Structure 1
Amino acid sequence: MTTQKPFITRPGTIALYVATAIVFLLTFSPAVALAFILVFGIPLFFMHEMPAYTTTGEKIGKYIFLTICTMIFIFLITPILVIIPLSFNAEPYFTFTEGMLSLDPSAYSLRWYKDIVQFGMLDPTGTENWWSDMWNNSTWVRAARNSFFIALVSTILATAFGTLAALGLSRPEMPYRSAITSLLISPMIVPLVITATGMFFFYSQKNLFPFYPDGLSKTYLGIILAHATLGVPFVIITVTATLSGFDRSLIRASQGLGASGTTTFFKVIMPLILPGMISGALFAFITSLDEVVAVIFLADVDQRTIPRQMFSGIREQISPTILAVATLLVVMSIALLTALELLRRRSERLRGLAPS
């Protein structure tokens, strides 16, 4: 029995890819060559997976499909990736300088990661003051501390409430499951400005909350509860997806052996749904860390978070320091999403959906 070879080999693809790069680099500018290679070279690189008996129409169709997917991916990811090189700009500009485009090492600097003055303020002589370190700047330190504190506490609350809700909704005897599920995930569907407006009017009510006679607006507790509300839908969805393949006979077996409900949850249920809980917690954490609309409605000066500080900086005093902070947030988001993908694969292996 002979094995069929792919219609285009990987070495041939790489050779064609390199040849195209050289031709367009010599004929056009580097930017045009890079754009052409990304849009047309990446789909060609994956065409080697097609078998030899594939028809010409199928080859063309797959190539067009991969090209469209590549263009969509580049369109979505480019605005995020552009800020990374700009954060290393040696000049206080939001655009690429001639030195950066020519890859001059002197045009790149870590100044926006190291030095900053009160968000780009100038001294009376018109030159920047560089005595303040970014991590010693009280404004950014307070914003970072608020962001991580609020995100951590709200993630704990969202994970606890979302897991309990998912466990209840996963029971077949639960009445009105669809209606309750739609209500619980509504913060994810309803426009955020509407949700934030409702939270503002509700949390601003006086003499409604114990120990807070002036309401929960402009308090840490109010922002934490608001972020927990926005994070609960993510936990419900991920935990519910994990419970879809859960064998409930394990619960009956645990109860038959005399285990209490608490013991059954921590010894039987929780180890199996833990990947879903962690995935939902990561989504809730990212949502809280990036959220700015609810903070604008509910937060005071003392509760400013990093996104709120960045928003204020863009409106009031523009500084490339915003790009440095944005780059750090992008790197953190990529790390969290990578951990999320690893947890997803582990969950599939535990459920027998993927080879171990």
Structure 2
Amino acid sequence: MTAVAPPREPADAPAPVRRRGLRGRRGRTDPVPVWLWVAGVVVAVYLVLPTLIVIPMSFSEATTFVFPPKGNSLWLYRNFFTNDRWLDALRNSLIVAVLAAGLATVVGTAAALGLDQLRGRVARLVRSALMFPILTPSIVIATAVYISFLRWHLTGTLTGYVLAHAALASPLVLVSVTSALATFDATYLRASASLGASPWRAFVTVTLPLISRGVATGAVLAFVTSFDEVVIALFLRSPKFQTLPVQMYNSVVVDIDPTIAASSSLIVVTVSLIFLVALLAGARKRR
């Protein structure tokens, strides 16, 4: 048998192009400029410096604001957990934050689901209108809330605090759930409907589990926003009901009470733990 020679490529055929691996191409990064490192360090120090001052002051023996702290003692924490004013303010803040976060999560999630079905100018207009509480200065919102709630007899009440804080936190839930819906595939809803699931059952068993990360993130942001809010709380406060940020404000302006160092440290640690748990839970779910 005669061997058949393989066909020859024409002389002007282009040489094969070697593609560089993605790993090698992406492994090289441009060096970070020195000024960017300096700017990052300055911003980090600026953000962390108040915490580095407040936490050591909470262990001071002094009866006033002194830095560097004098001595080591836990009497500020002891005063915080034994003083009825501080404990009542802490309890009020926790109750308001939990109720406001729950209400804001329900309203923000419902708004995000409704806006996800809209298209065009109407959706953009409604979404922009719902963002007003984030863009408007707090003092303007507090004045409007105070004037309205004063007429409705809601100042100084638990209902007034919850409604005001929920209105302030709902846009944060809306943004979080909207970004979660951006990766949601509506094919699952059509599949569940073809299998006979009602809209409510499809939401509970299909939509909610897939957007649960966005809902949980929005709930955490709503809780922290309500727990830390002070401007509206100053307008709505009453002698019988005030939150922890208002009590902290009074301890600086009226009483000159160094217990605020202990309460500030507790808030910083609590908020950091909440965000840390949320990040770890999200990372575990992704894995």
Aligned 8 A contact 1:275 1:346 in 2 = no
Residue 171 of structure 1 deviates from its aligned partner by 1.7
Q: Which of residues 80, 103, 118 is equivalent to 2:51? A: 80
For residues 178 and 328 of structure 1, the distance between their equivalents in structure 2, rounded to whole angstroms, comes to 40
Give the equivalent residue in structure 2 for 1:258.
196
Give 2:74's aligned amino acid.
L
Overall identity of the aligned pairs, in %: 35
- In the other structure, the counterpart of 1:157 is 103
CA distance in 2, matches of 1:236, 1:339: 21
Alignment deviations for residues 216-270 of structure 1 (CA, whole Å, 9 cap, x no partner): 2222111110000011011001101111100110011111111001100100000
1:329 counterpart = 2:275? no
Q: How does 1:136-285 map to 2 (within 5 A)?
A: 136-173=82-119, 176-206=122-152, 215-285=153-223
- Give the aligned partner of residue 96 of structure 1: 67
SS of residue paired to 1:303: coil
Question: Contact 1:295 / 1:308 at 8 angstroms: preserved in 2?
Answer: yes
Asked whether the equivalents of residues 243 and 273 of structure 1 are also in contact (C-alpha less than 8 Å), the reply is yes
Name the structure 1 match of 2:255: 317
Mapped to 2, the partners of 1:68 and 1:257 lie a distance apart of 56
**Residues 279 and 343 in structure 1, CA contact (< 8 A), matched pair in contact too:** no
* 2: CA distance, partners of 1:280 / 1:333: 14
User: Which residue identity is paired with 1:66?
Assistant: W
Tell me whether 1:110 sits opposite 2:48 in the alignment.
no
Following superposition, the deviation at residue 160 of structure 1 comes to 0.3
- 2:233 counterpart residue number: 295
Instruction: State the distance in 2 between where 1:280 and 1:141 align.
Output: 27
Flag structure 1 segments of 5+ consecutive residues without an equivalent: 1-49, 101-106, 117-133, 207-214, 350-355
Gaps of 5+ in 2: 1-26
Moved >4 Å (runs of 4+): 172-175
Alpha-carbon distance in 1 for matches of 2:121, 2:187? 21
**CA RMSD after TM alignment:** 1.9
Equivalent position SS for 1:196: helix
TM-score (norm 1): 0.69
Superposition deviation, residue 149 in structure 1: 0.6
Q: Residue by residue, what CA displacement relative to the aligned partner does 1:128-171 show, whole Å, maximum 9, x if unpaired?
A: xxxxxx32322111111110011111111000000000111112
Which of the pair has the greater relative contact order for Cα pairs under 8 Å at 6+ separation?
2
Q: Distance in 2 between matches of 1:181 and 1:156?
A: 21
Q: Which amino acid counterpart does residue 82 of structure 2 have in structure 1?
A: N
Change (3 A) 1:343 1:280: farther
Structure 1 residues 193 and 168: alpha-carbon distance in aligned structure 2, compared to 1, 3 A threshold: same
Does the 8 Å CA contact 1:155/1:281 hold for their aligned counterparts? yes
> In structure 1, what is the Cα distance between the partners aligned to 2:117 and 2:283?
25
Residue 169 of structure 1 contacts residue 181 of structure 1 at CA under 8 Å; is this kept in 2? yes
Partner of 1:123: none
Please state how far the C-alpha of 1:91 moved relative to its aligned partner: 1.8
Letter in 1 for 2:37: L
Deviation at 1:172, TM superposition (A): 4.3
SS state of the match for residue 205, structure 1? helix
Displacement of 1:70 in angstroms is 1.3
Compare CA radii of gyration and give the structure with the larger one: 2
